[in-house]
Amino acid sequence: MTVDDAELRELVPQVLSVLVRRGADFATAEDAVQEALIRALSAWEDEEPADPTGWLVTVAWRVFLDMTRSETARRDRQVRRHHLRAATRAAADADQ
């Protein structure tokens, strides 16, 4: 059994709207749904799940959470680096 691309495309608006209703911003939700579709093509190669929409929503939501956590961690690292550099400069200035 192969995945029907047209059927997958029909599910996209539903999955996208669920993510946006849950609080995802539209652009990130689109990226998460796209990643879920890519994973579906691989995972559904042999057999489609009983609830394709539910599967896509679950995977897309998890991808969205991963993307959000990654972005938050990246921002936190940048803030820590900024504060460390500022503290290092302040210490260097105090030594002069």
Mind listing the pLDDT tens digit for each residue in 4-44? Answer: 788 889 999 999 999 999 999 999 999 999 999 999 999 99
**Domain map of the chain by residue range?**
5-95
Residue 80 has pLDDT above 60, yes or no: yes
Amino acid at 3: V
For CA atoms 17, 20, 24, 28, the dihedral sign is: positive
pTM of the complete model = 0.76
Identify which has the larger pLDDT, 83 or 44: 44
Lowest-confidence pick of 46-50, 61-65, 83-87: 83-87
Residue 2 has pLDDT above 70, yes or no: no
From CA 86, how far away is CA 4, in angstroms rounded? 55
- Structural contact between residues 56 and 33, judged by C-beta atoms closer than 8 angstroms: yes
Report pLDDT for 60. Answer: 98
